Structure 1
Amino acid sequence: MRYSAGHKLETRERLLHSSSLSAKKSGFSTVGVDGLMKAIGLSGAAFYSHFSSKDALFAAIVERELSQSLERLGGQEGADRERLQRCLKQYLSMAHVEQPEAGCALPTLGAEIARSDVLVREQAQQCICRLQQSWAQILESDSLAWAILSQCVGALVVARMLATEDVQRTVLNASQEEIARQLAVPRAE
């Protein structure tokens, strides 16, 4: 039975969405093609009608997730310091620690991106640099934008590694306080 082009696109989108959630929650390399397809109710054999390889799916996940993170974290026109501070507070929250599948892909997939081929790393770099440039424009400092971006991702990675909520909160609060201090420092022209 032949499926319509619309059905194929819908199935590809379901696979991409489901695989993105799974990758952010458990890591991408931990699940095979059969498991990814089973999650959307299809057999592993159907995978190759949507992606040429598991690496191609990972590249699509990286593009999708980092583009969404860029959009959520400051890629909008007219973003200002106040909006950025709200985004950073939400980013450095226990909800983000506890629900990796609902948040930014960098803390969960960063190590896998680093081990990927150069095309995936270039794709990630492009999105990360766009986010950094957006923040640099708001903060009027390239280096501060890189520092805060790195602080946020690192704090989330560390918080997720820890066993108790109290220590996780301590890491998040310390990062929020340090970022707030940096944002309060007047920048030289």
Structure 2
Amino acid sequence: MRYEKGHKDATRKRIVEVASKQLRKDGVGASGVAALMASAGLTHGGFYSHFSSKDALIEEALRDAVEQVKVWIGSVADSNENKLEAVIRAYLSPYHRDNPETGCVAGTLAPEIARHSPAVREMFTKSIIGHIEMISGLLPASATPEARRSVATAIIAGTTGMIQLARAVDDEELSDKILEDGIAACMSLVRAISS
């Protein structure tokens, strides 16, 4: 059976999109190749005509997820006057908490990535460096570059940990409080660097 030109590329893109969401929702360990392919509407047997290994798919799917989050954060920042507060509030929102499949890779997979292949860890490291630079750029220019970088790193680490805790607890009121306290803590860091 012959397929139209571009069919293989479109199929690969569909696999990556499905994997990007499923990995963030269920985790790397719980996302087998057969399940990922089935979610994409394909058979397990076709996997290796698109990827050399599960690690190759994971790396590409996580890269896709990182790009999605970068676009999301950029659009939140661009559409608000107080860019950094808007980004923090969007990240620590009930919507982000309740929809990990469309959210931040660090907030869903950081512990698993720490135990993954060097290629996946390198890609993740580059994305974190990019996020630190982006957050640093939203902090007051009156602070030193070192101070902005330090606060940006603390904001990223804090928000990542807070979203993980908010997702992990089984008490919705406590989960909401974790998100609210996280926003307050991050904004305290911003005010401290602004003084």
**TM-score under structure 2 length normalisation:** 0.88
- Give the corresponding residue for 2:93: 93
User: For residues 53 and 72 of structure 1, do their structure 2 counterparts lie closer, same or farther at Cα, with a shift above 3 Å needed?
Assistant: same
The C-alpha deviation readout for 1:97-153, integer Å capped at 9, x for no partner, is: 111112112111112211111111111111110110121122141100000011110
CA contact (8 A) 1:73 1:84 kept: no
Match of 2:145 in 1: none
Cα 1:90–1:165, aligned 2, differ >3 Å: closer, same or farther? same
Query: Alignment partner for residue 176 of structure 2, among 169, 172, 184?
Result: 169
> CA, structure 1 residues 77+36, in 2 after alignment: closer, same or farther (shift >3 Å)?
closer
Instruction: Give the counterpart letter for 1:99 in structure 2.
Output: N
Query: Which residue number in structure 2 is paired with residue 23 of structure 1?
Result: 23
Query: How much does 1:77 deviate?
Result: 9.8
Moved more, 146-155 or 76-85: 76-85
Kindly report which structure 2 residues correspond to 1:126-165, keeping only aligned pairs within 5 A, or say none: 126-139=126-139, 140=141, 141-165=148-172
Task: Could you tell me which runs of 5 or more consecutive residues in structure 1 were left unpaired when the two chains were aligned.
Answer: none
Give the whole-Å Cα distance in 1 for the aligned partners of 2:61 and 2:20: 6
Deviations 1:145-180 (A, max 9, x none): 000011110000011110011000111111111111
Aligned residues: 188
Amino acid at match of 2:173: D
For 2:128 and 2:76, the matched residues in 1 are separated by 14
* CA distance, structure 1, for counterparts of residue 81 and residue 134 of structure 2: 11
2: distance between equivalents of 1:159 and 1:175? Answer: 10
* Residue 187 (structure 2) aligned to one of 160, 171, 180: 180
**d(CA) in 1 for partners of 2:133 and 2:79?**
12
- Unpaired runs of at least 5, structure 2: 142-147
CA RMSD of aligned residues (A): 2.1
Cα pair distance change 1:118/1:162, threshold 3 Å: same
Q: Equivalents in 2 of 1:7, 1:59: separation in Å?
A: 22
Answer yes or no: is the 8 Å Cα contact 1:66–1:128 preserved in 2. Answer: no
CA distance in 1, matches of 2:52, 2:103: 27
* Partners of 2:90 and 2:80 in 1: CA distance: 16
The answer to whether the 8 Å contact 1:33/1:54 transfers is yes
Inter-partner Cα distance in structure 2 for 1:186 and 1:142: 11
Q: Any runs of at least 4 consecutive aligned residues in structure 1 with deviations exceeding 6 A, and if so which?
A: 75-81
SS at match of 2:42: coil
CA contact (8 A) 1:24 1:101 kept: yes
Partner of 1:41: 41
- Indicate conservation of the 8 Å contact 1:92/1:172, yes or no: yes
Equivalent position SS for 1:185: helix
> For the residues of structure 1 that align with 2:12 and 2:99, how far apart are their CA atoms?
24
Question: Shift in Å at residue 41 of structure 1?
Answer: 1.8
Q: How far apart are the structure 1 equivalents of 2:76 and 2:163?
A: 23
Task: Show the counterpart of 1:108.
Answer: 108
- Compared with structure 1, are the counterparts of its residues 78 and 89 closer, same or farther at alpha carbon in structure 2 (3 Å cutoff)? closer
Deviates more, 1:73-82 or 1:45-54: 73-82
Q: Tell me how far 1:186 sits from its aligned partner.
A: 4.4
Q: Give the equivalent residue in structure 1 for 2:144.
A: none
